[in-house]
Amino acid sequence: TSSPLRFDGKVALITGAGNGLGKAYALDFAARGAKVVVNDLGGNMSGTGSGSRTADKVVDEIRAKGGIAVANYDSVELGDKLVQTALDNFGRIDIVVNNAGILRDKSFVRIRDEDWDIIHRVHLRGTFQVSRAAWPHMKKQGYGRIIMVTSAAGIYGNFGQANYSAAKLGILGLANTLSIEGRKNNIFVNTVAPIAGSRLTETVMTKEMVDSLKPEFVTPLVVYLTHDSCEETGGLFEVGAGYFAKLRWQRTEGVILREANQVLDAEKVGVSTRQPDHLKFLFELSDDFSVIPSFGVIPAFGGLMESTGKIPGFKIDPT
């Protein structure tokens, strides 16, 4: 059997920890010995109102079970204040779970500026503010674990969620770069796309679905990824109902349309004398795709070299 994943001496800040997934994370971290900052603004699911009760209830529950927790009632838009609560009470910050969230679902043309802005302020800007406030402390101590929270709506799109989709995938963009910047300081950043029954989803889910999609089925991955024994960084995971999977981008085989001493224009994309089958290589994803864990300009450089005859038959190396 595996030894328990303990968080003794660690300080974890969970945003939006008054309900749903965040509450489940906070309870589990506390049960594993972490000192927890339970942040929650305490408003409604569309981002209006506020109150201290939501966070307090979770803190009370943690303390009743013998755990250590303190509440913070600020919006994630004020990231410094959340991190300051951790520093004032526990003297450090080790783990941040950027979980707080709201919805303003509307079909695209019905999205008002304020519906767009508040979703971006809470999800993307809030995640930025909280992470940036924690970053220098993590850097100084040479240790940090950050969880970003995206959504299937961001990864795949979803009807009526243009504002939310854009903000949620923006969070993945932030994570991609932070995982690169943090690596040398032992700050690891991973992103999860959870699915769970909560007040955000109960209106679109049946009771049966809500019951089979407990937040507690998501928690294990978040806890595992933030443990100091876990070296994973820059990952994107789908998680829910006991299912766990990692995602990656996929590129078609690609096609080099540039030829030496020839004009490269839009017509060449549609019709290539050089490679009659090229549209297949351009548009059709193959089963045994190559994954290139870096920028797409690398095959473009290859194309340049081939078109100038320097590397005949240059092929993209999938490693």
Using CB under 6 A, list all residues that contact ligand NAI: 15-16, 18-22, 39-43, 45, 47, 54, 75-77, 99-102, 122, 126, 149, 151, 193-196, 198-201
Smallest gap from residue 21 Cβ to ligand NAI (A): 4
Q: Pick the closer one to ligand NAI by CB: 76 or 221.
A: 76
In the structure encoding, which two tokens stand for residue 185, read together?
Answer: 């300081």
DSSP state of 47: S
Q: Pick the closer one to ligand NAI by CB: 180 or 245.
A: 245
Q: How far apart are the C-alpha atoms of 165 and 119, rounded to whole Å?
A: 10
Q: How far apart are the C-alpha atoms of 227 and 239, rounded to whole Å?
A: 17
Smallest gap from residue 192 Cβ to ligand NAI (A): 8
Q: How far apart are the C-alpha atoms of 94 and 92, rounded to whole Å?
A: 7
Q: Pick the closer one to ligand NAI by CB: 199 or 246.
A: 199
CA dihedral of residues 169, 171, 173, 174 (deg, nearest 10): 170
Smallest gap from residue 183 Cβ to ligand NAI (A): 25
Q: How many CB atoms are closer than 10 A to CB 131?
A: 25
Tell me which residues are annotated as active site. 164
Smallest gap from residue 184 Cβ to ligand NAI (A): 28
Q: Helix, strand, or coil here: 272?
A: coil
What distance separates the 2 farthest-apart alpha carbons in the chain? 76
Q: How far apart are the C-alpha atoms of 275 and 281, rounded to whole Å?
A: 10
Q: Pick the closer one to ligand NAI by CB: 7 or 164.
A: 164
Q: Pick the closer one to ligand NAI by CB: 222 or 255.
A: 222
Smallest gap from residue 60 Cβ to ligand NAI (A): 15
Distant-in-sequence contacts of 280-286, Cβ < 8 A, 24+ apart: 281/252, 281/253, 281/254, 281/255, 282/252, 282/254, 282/255, 283/252, 284/252, 285/250, 285/252, 286/252, 286/253
In the structure encoding, which two tokens stand for residue 206, read together?
Answer: 């049946």
Q: How far apart are the C-alpha atoms of 162 and 154, rounded to whole Å?
A: 9
Smallest gap from residue 59 Cβ to ligand NAI (A): 13
Q: Pick the closer one to ligand NAI by CB: 14 or 257.
A: 14
